[in-house]
Amino acid sequence: MTAAPHRLMFCTGMAVLMAASAWWGLHLLARQTGRPVSALDLTLAPIWAHTFLVLFAVYPTFFFGFLFTVFPRWMNGPAVPRGRYVATAIWFALASAAWLAGIHRAPVLCLAACAFAAAGLLTGIASLLKVLLDAQQAVSHAYVVLIGLCVELVALAGFGYGLGVSNDLALHFAVRSALWGGLLPVFFAVCHRMIPFFSQNVVPGYIAWRPPWVLIAVVGLAYARVLLGTVGALPALLAIDAALCALTALCAVRWTSLRTGGNRLLWTLYAAYAWLPLAALLQTLRDLGFVLTGEWWLGRAPIHALGMGFFGGMLIAMVTRVTLGHSGRPLRMDGVAFACVLGIHAATIARLASEIATAPVWIAASLLVSIALWLLAFGVWTLRMGPIYLRPRIDGQPG
C-alpha cells in the first residue's frame, strides 16, 4: 500500500470519508427518529462536528494523495519521500479518529484532532514545497495550490481557536475561509490544469484552453469573497458571486467537448465541474435575496452544491482516473463506478431539495435520501477501488 503516495492517501481518504459519512448519517437518522440516542449526544453543535470532518479531514487527505502524485510530474521535480506521505496519512487518520471520539466523549480530543490535522497539513505542505523548490520548472497551478493549502491551515488554526474559547464568530470565519479560500482555489487550480489535459488526450483535435488570467481571476474572486465576508460587506458579495458564476461557466463551455466518443471518465469530470457555476449561480441568487429583502434565500443549497456536487463529484472522478491510470489499468470507467458517480449527483440534488422544501416531512425525507445515496455511492465505489491499492500494478511497472 505504501509503494506510491496515491495508494496510501486515497485508501486513508476513503476510510475517513466512509467513517465521517456513516457518523453523519446516524446523526441525521437520530434527529428524525430519536434513535440511536448516542448519535445525538454531542459535545458541540452538529454543524461544527460535521464541518470539521468534511473541510479539514476528508478532502485534504484526498488532496495530498493527488498532489503528491502530480506535483513532481507538473514540474519535473523529485518524488515525495515515502516517510513524508506515510506521516501525512497517519496524521489525518489520527485527526479523524480523535474527532469522532471527542464529539461524543471529551472536547479535549477535538482540540487534539485539530492539532493532528494541522500536523498533516504542515507535513503535506512542506513536502510539496520541497518538490517546488527542487523542481526544474515551476507552474502557476503549483503556487495556487500551495497558497490554498496554507489558507486551509490558517483556517484550521482559527477553527481550533474557536473551539477552545467557544467563539462562534471565529468558527464561522474559519469555515468560510477554508471553503472559499482553501478548498475552492485548490479544486479549481486542479481543474484548470487537468480537465483540458485529459480532454486533449481523448478528443482528436481538442485545443486545451487554460489561460492564466482565468486561474488568477477565479482564485482572486474567491479570496475577495472571503475578505468581504469577513469585514461584513455582505451586499458586495452579489457582484463577486455573479462574476464567479460567469467565469466558471465560461470555463465549463470552453472545456467541455461533445466529441468524447462516450468516454465516461471524461464526462464525469465535465459533470462534476458543472456544479461549480451552478453553485455560484445559487449563491448569487442567495445574495440577491439578501440585498432585496434582507433575508438569505435558498438556505445552504449553494454550499452543498459546491461541497457535494463540485467537490464530491470531482473527487470521485479524479480519484477514479488516477487509480486506474496508476495501476496499469485501461482508462475506462465501468458501469458500477459510473453508477456511483450518478449516485453522488443524485445525493446532491436531494440535499438541495431539502433546502428548498418547506414541509417538514419533505425536508426530513430529502435529507435521509441524500445521505443514503451518498453512503451507498461512496460505499460501493470504495469497495470497487480500495482493493486496487493493495495489489501490484497489473502491467508490472513500479508504483
CA angle 153, 155, 156 (to 5 degrees): 65
Q: Which three cell numbers stand for residue 242?
A: 455573479
Residue 211: band (very low, low, confident or very high) from pLDDT cuts 50, 70, 90: very high
- Nearest alpha-carbon partner for 397 in 2, 35, 3, 1: 3
Q: How far is CA 381 from CA 60, 92, 324, in A?
A: 19, 21, 13
| Prior bond of 81 cis (ω within 30°) | no
Percent of the chain with pLDDT over 70: 100
399 pLDDT above the threshold of 80:
no
pLDDT confidence bin for 138, thresholds 50/70/90: confident
Q: Region 340-369: what's the mean pLDDT?
A: 95
Task: Collect all residues with Cβ–Cβ distance below 8 Å to 236 and sequence separation of at least 6.
Answer: 228
Range of the domain at 40: 5-390
d(CA 323, CA 151): 28
Domain presence at residue 38: yes
Residue 374: inside a domain, yes or no?
A: yes
Tens-place pLDDT, residues 68-116: 999 999 989 999 999 999 999 999 999 999 999 999 988 899 999 999 9
365 pLDDT band (50/70/90 cuts)? Answer: very high
Q: Which triple of cell numbers denotes residue 188?
A: 479549481
CATH, residue 277: 1.20.210.10
| Residue 133 domain flag | yes
As given in the structure block, the three cell numbers for residue 381 are 465505489
- Cell matching residue 270: 465535465
Instruction: Give the number of domains in the chain.
Output: 1
Q: So what's the pLDDT on residue 40?
A: 83
Query: Given pLDDT bands bounded at 50, 70 and 90, which one contains residue 377?
Result: very high
Cα–Cα distance measured from residue 332 to residue 96, given in angstroms and rounded to the nearest whole number:
32
Position 39 scores a pLDDT of 79
Which phi-psi region, left, alpha or beta, contains residue 297 (left: φ > 0; alpha: ψ -120 to 50)? beta
How far apart are alpha carbons 207 and 12 in whole angstroms?
36
Which three three-digit cell numbers place residue 75?
514540474
Inform me whether the pLDDT recorded for 328 exceeds 90: no
Burial label, 136 (beta-carbon count in 10 A; 0-12, 13-18, 19+): exposed
What pLDDT, on the 0 to 100 scale, is given for residue 26? 94
pLDDT at 262 exceeding the cut of 90: no
Burial status of residue 133 (CB atoms within 10 A of its CB: 0-12, 13-18, 19 or more): exposed
Q: Of 210, 200, 239, whose CA–CA distance to 141 is shortest?
A: 210
| Among 114, 96, 120, 116, CA closest to 23 | 96
Identity of the residue numbered 226: V
H/E stretch holding 127 reads: helix 107-134
Q: Residues 256, 261, 264, 267: what is their CA dihedral angle, to the nearest 10 degrees?
A: 10
What are the grid coordinates assigned to 108, written together? 479535549
Contact between residue 59 and residue 315 where contact means Cβ atoms under 8 Å apart: yes
- Residue matched to cell numbers 474567491: 222
**Distance between CA 26 and CA 269 in Å, rounded?**
30
DSSP per residue, 11-54? HHHHHHHHHHHHHHHHHHHHHHH--SGGGG--SS-HHHHHHHII
Residue 185 within any structural domain of the chain:
yes
Q: Count Cα atoms within 13 angstroms, Cβ side, for 69.
A: 25
> How far apart (Å, rounded) are the C-alpha atoms in residues 386 and 232?
44
pLDDT band of residue 394 (cuts 50, 70, 90) is confident
- CA–CA dist 198, 321 (Å, integer): 10
Q: According to DSSP H, which parts of 294-334 are helical?
A: 301-304, 313-325
